[in-house]
Structure 1
Amino acid sequence: MLTPPRTVVRREAGLYALERALQRRGFRHVAGADEAGRGACAGPLVAAAAILPEGRRGEIDGLADSKLLTPASRERIYDEVVARALAYAVVVIPAEEVDARGLHVCNLAAMRRALASLATRPEYVLTDGFGVDGLDVPGLAVWKGDRVAACVAAASVLAKVTRDRIMVELDGTFPAYGFAEHKGYITPEHTAALREHGPCREHRFSYVNVASVSGRDDQPPRSRRPVLAGRHTAAAEPGPEALFEAGSEAMFEPAAEALFEAGPDEPMERSCAPGSTVGVALSERPRPPAPVGEDVVMEGGER
């Protein structure tokens, strides 16, 4: 039996070339997933997924890796993605959950849940840097995917804008740290504020710089977050991660969680806030990775 020739997509072909190549191979709905906040020592980890429509409607002027855009450009492109996307979803993982379960575990779980929450079922998944297992559709981890694939760039903008908005809100609650300026990342000003005031509950105590000023640097990372009076520990709570509704246009289907089954380290269930439009059943058991579409290879990147 003859196999079709492998498609080679060159990086200089542009941001939409990889998706178009996949669509020519029959994968109409290509989803991209990315995160924001991995390197921050305060605030949530945010992941997003998006499916852009085929053709000219899916081409957004100025779309690029969110880190390369100005705040004003990100806000404009965010609105364009929300208006044009066939489906999009954003997942927010609070700092205490990052401390309880670890950054990488939370990162993969957040992207997995964002993809599962898409109202339109993806036929192929592109992720930035990390492969996401447990999906029953083929996928590809693309090195610097937010600079290579439009759907990943769109997801990066959704995640970045959502997280920046959250950090600006947190700045009103914790004005001593300057969250509105540095968004929880490590800067000289943030470091000075940490030394003067100590960490607040939005800091990640599993991070060395936060632990060192909290007096808990001699504790293992998972146990560095202190137990606050009147609050449960993050590990004892039934999955404090929550889906964030990015706008009234986004309606997340609870049934989309059927893409997953549950893992032993995952909270088994989560109740939604009263009146929420988002329903989530956190039951995930890792499946064998879906076959990666090796017929599409990014030249100059990694398979």
Structure 2
Amino acid sequence: MLAPPRTVVRREGGLYAIERALQRRGFRNVAGADEAGRGACAGPLVAGACILPEGKRGEIDELADSKLLTAAARERVYAEVVKRALAWSVVIVPATEVDARGLHVCNLAAMRRALASLTATPDYVLTDGFPVDGLNAPGLAVWKGDRVAACVAAASVLAKVTRDRLMVELDDKFPGYGFAVHKGYITEEHSAALTSRGPCAEHRFSYVNVAAASGRGNRPPRARRPVPVSASSASPEAVPLMLWADSEGTVGVASGEQPRPPVPVGEDEAMEGEKR
């Protein structure tokens, strides 16, 4: 039996080269998945998944790795991704779940859940950096996938914008930490606030710096975490953000689908840790 011909991805094809090559081989719905918040010590972990349309309709101006875009550009790209995508989804994993299950387990589970939540079935899956098992489609982990594959870049923007918006909300609920500025990542301002104020309920107590600031670093993450104060006995600033969760602890916040355009006859188209 003859082996199938190799799929050639040409560098000059740019951000859409991998998807176009897979689509020429019959994998029309190419899904990308990525996360935001893996390197943060506060706030949720967020995963996004996206399937962009074939052809020109799936090409989005300014689309790039979310970490390379300004906040304003990310918002513009986010709006275009939501508008054009065949299907998209976002999943949120609360800080308590990251402490309980571990970062890497939550990272893979969140991407798997985001992909499973897509309203269009992926024919092929591209993930950023880490292979994700348990999918009903062939897949490939792509190093720096958010810089070389459009669908992964789109997923990174979905995850990043969603998480940034949540961190701005958390800044209102837990003032004094600067969440709206550094988004929960470790900066001098954040470290100083941790030292002077101690961690809040949205910090990840499984992280060494948060455990040390809690003064209970020799205890397991669940034992370090402060007991939430009920809304009836606390000021608004002291009430932790409560996210609804299913039995696995993840929170689905959004998904969308756009009608699929007809394919023209004869078409032949060739670890987050950002510094702030």
TM-score range, shorter chain: 0.7 to 0.9
Specify which structure has the higher proportion of helix: 2
Secondary structure of 2:96's aligned partner? helix
TM-score normalised by length of structure 2 = 0.85
Secondary structure of 1:243's aligned partner? strand
Aligned to 1:41: 41
Answer yes or no: is the 8 Å Cα contact 1:11–1:148 preserved in 2: no
Aligned to 1:148: 148
Secondary structure of 2:125's aligned partner? strand
CA distance in 1, matches of 2:223, 2:116: 30
After superposition, the C-alpha distances for 1:235-285 in whole angstroms (9 at most, x for unaligned) are xx9443210126xxx27xxxxxxxxxxxxxxxxxxxxxxxxxxxxxxxxxx
11-20 or 46-55, larger mean C-alpha shift: 11-20
1:198 matches 2:211: no
1:250-261 map, 5 Å? 250=256
Provide structure 1 residue ranges, at least 5 long, that are not aligned to the other structure.
232-236, 252-303
Return structure 1 stretches of 4+ with deviation > 3 angstroms. 220-224, 226-231, 237-240
Q: CA deviation at 1:228?
A: 4.5
Answer yes or no: is the 8 Å Cα contact 1:102–1:222 preserved in 2: no
Answer yes or no: is the 8 Å Cα contact 1:27–1:123 preserved in 2: yes
CA distance in 2, matches of 1:239, 1:134: 15
Secondary structure of 1:8's aligned partner? coil
Aligned to 1:137: 137
Aligned length: 245
Q: CA deviation at 1:229?
A: 6.4
Secondary structure of 1:244's aligned partner? strand
Q: CA deviation at 1:220?
A: 3.6
CA distance in 1, matches of 2:185, 2:10: 34
The amino acid that maps onto 1:41 is C
CA gap 1:14/1:92 in 2 versus in 1, 3 angstroms:
same
CA distance in 2, matches of 1:151, 1:123: 13
CA distance in 2, matches of 1:5, 1:85: 30
Aligned to 1:70: 70
Answer yes or no: is the 8 Å Cα contact 1:36–1:47 preserved in 2: yes
CA distance in 2, matches of 1:173, 1:226: 16
1:1-303 map, 5 Å? 1-221=1-221, 223-228=223-228, 238-245=247-254, 250=256
Identity %: 76
